[in-house]
Amino acid sequence: MRILRWGRWLGDGVEFRHALTYAAFGVRGSGKSTLLEHIAQEFLSGGCPVLDIFGSRDGEGLAWLRSPWVTENDKRVLLLHGDNTNVSSPWDSKPASKYTVDDLQRYDLVISASPLYSSIDVEYSQINKVIDEVYSRVVWRTPAYLLIREAANLLYSRMKVSSDQTLAKAQLTYFTREARHCGFSLGLDTQKLSSIDVDVRITFDYIFFKSLGIYGLPSDLSWLYSFYRPARLQRMPVDMFVLLTGRGSHGVGIFPYHDWHKQAGEDILKAVGVEVDHGELIVETKPARVVGDLQHAQMIQMRQDGFNYREISEALKVSKSTPWTHIHAHNEEVRRTGSCSRCRRAKSPLVDKIVGEGGGLPQDSIKTPTVRP
Ligand SMILES: [Zn+2]
């Protein structure tokens, strides 16, 4: 990329060798994800691995598979998918839940895209493994670039593992600050600057403005209007941007717009030759304390291992009556149909086993079992 004209220059510039945070803001179709892909290519050419996660349901991250990096330069690719999804393609693939930070030494490009998960719920939940693994990268020589398409998804995803929205937000702020210490450059894409807290925004080293549409700049950055006409910021060519650096320099620049980027409405799976087969949809545990399939299977397993109802409820942080309810519903379904549908979805080895029911329910918590089939 190239800066055509600095509005103010304080001696810095854009660089792609260190663990830095790059954010792109703009409306849909403004070319912000292409810009973040361009930055990813700068890291790839410096020998740094790239992780590409989230993005819209149409799976734009998979467009990498037809880029010259893969078709000509033989960059090693790993596709991450949901636990219940099978992927067949010429590239390596594994469930996101099995991803470890060591994969960044074996692969140049690690891609997790929505079509490789049976639902958005499953994707948001299972991608947390990739986020958590960021903190495990204690030893590193070159930075890795983590491209997060639509950064708001990161927050939704954290809310899958944290019942508290404030806590999820705090985790996100911590993440954007700490990622660099673990050798991760971040590329964050978002449609509205105001959807990103100021706490997170001040950790950005570079903010790229693409076409901002009718929302324009947030009030704390409106001073940029005295350098750049509102009409220019509202609409600009897809290969153009206005850059603001963490140090306070700003200018207008351009980047080479690559042609392998996913087109609107294109069936990208077909275009790159990836086939997916989703197994039965798993019901995830929600923070609202609805018990999901995995937690159900865990209760059955703990019961089988000899824990009593109170120990199970304490260990899994569910109400006192929940283990009793689930164990009885499980046994009942196994007696009636030969297997438990929740355990089947969770791939539990106890899918057709009756577990002990003795011990009874604590007197103060008797209620009608309300287990969904
Ligand atoms: Zn069961």
Q: Write out pLDDT tens, residues 251-268.
A: 999 999 999 998 888 899
Ligand 1 centroid to 341 CA: how many Å?
Answer: 7
- The DSSP call for residue 368 is -
Residues 98 and 246 in one domain: yes
Residues 220 and 329 in one domain: no
Task: Judge whether 373 lies within some domain.
Answer: no
> DSSP 3-state helix, strand, coil percentages of the chain (rounded to 5)?
40, 20, 45
Residues 110 and 257 in one domain: yes
Ligand 1 centroid to 350 CA: how many Å?
Answer: 7
Collapsed DSSP state (helix, strand, coil) of residue 58: coil
Residues 269 and 305 in one domain: no
Task: Judge whether 179 lies within some domain.
Answer: yes
Residues 211 and 144 in one domain: yes
Ligand 1 centroid to 235 CA: how many Å?
Answer: 55
CATH code of the domain in which 313 resides: 1.10.10
Residues 11 and 141 in one domain: yes
Task: Judge whether 117 lies within some domain.
Answer: yes
Residues of the chain with pLDDT under 50: 287-289, 362-373
Residues 153 and 268 in one domain: yes
Task: Judge whether 370 lies within some domain.
Answer: no
Q: Which of 252, 278, 304 is where one domain is finished?
A: 278
Ligand 1 centroid to 86 CA: how many Å?
Answer: 23
What is the tally of structural domains in the chain? 2
Residues 272 and 298 in one domain: no
Q: Which of 246, 278, 310 is where one domain is finished?
A: 278
Per residue in 111-126, pLDDT (tens digit) is 999 999 988 888 888 8
Ligand 1 centroid to 364 CA: how many Å?
Answer: 25
Ligand 1 centroid to 237 CA: how many Å?
Answer: 55
CATH code of the domain in which 92 resides: 3.40.50.300
The 3-state secondary structure of 254-320 reads: ECCCCCCCCCCCCCHHHHHCCEEEECCCCCCCCCCCCCCHHHHHHHHHHHHCCCCHHHHHHHHCCCC
**Whole domain around residue 353: which residue ranges?**
293-365
pLDDT of residue 162: 66
Residues 306 and 239 in one domain: no
Ligand 1 centroid to 167 CA: how many Å?
Answer: 31
Task: Judge whether 138 lies within some domain.
Answer: yes
Q: Residues 168, 170, 173, 179: is their CA dihedral positive or negative? A: negative
Task: Judge whether 107 lies within some domain.
Answer: yes
pLDDT of residue 365: 39
Ligand 1 centroid to 130 CA: how many Å?
Answer: 28
**What's the CA gap between 323 and 84, in Å, rounded?**
25
DSSP letter for each residue of 215-245: T---GGGGGGGGTS-HHHHHS--TTEEEEEE
Ligand 1 centroid to 370 CA: how many Å?
Answer: 14
User: What is the pTM (predicted TM-score) of this model?
Assistant: 0.73
DSSP letter for each residue of 106-169: H-SEEEE-GGGSSSHHHHHHHTHHHHHHHTT--S-SS-EEEEEESTHHHHHHHHHH-S-HHHHH
Ligand 1 centroid to 294 CA: how many Å?
Answer: 9
| 291-320 burial: b if 16+ Cβ within 10 Å, else e | bbbbbbbbbbbbbbeebebeebbeebebeb
Residues 101 and 247 in one domain: yes
Task: Judge whether 196 lies within some domain.
Answer: yes
Q: Which of 278, 304, 334 is where one domain is finished?
A: 278
Ligand 1 centroid to 336 CA: how many Å?
Answer: 12
Ligand 1 centroid to 124 CA: how many Å?
Answer: 24
Task: Judge whether 245 lies within some domain.
Answer: yes
Residues 359 and 223 in one domain: no
Residues 264 and 314 in one domain: no
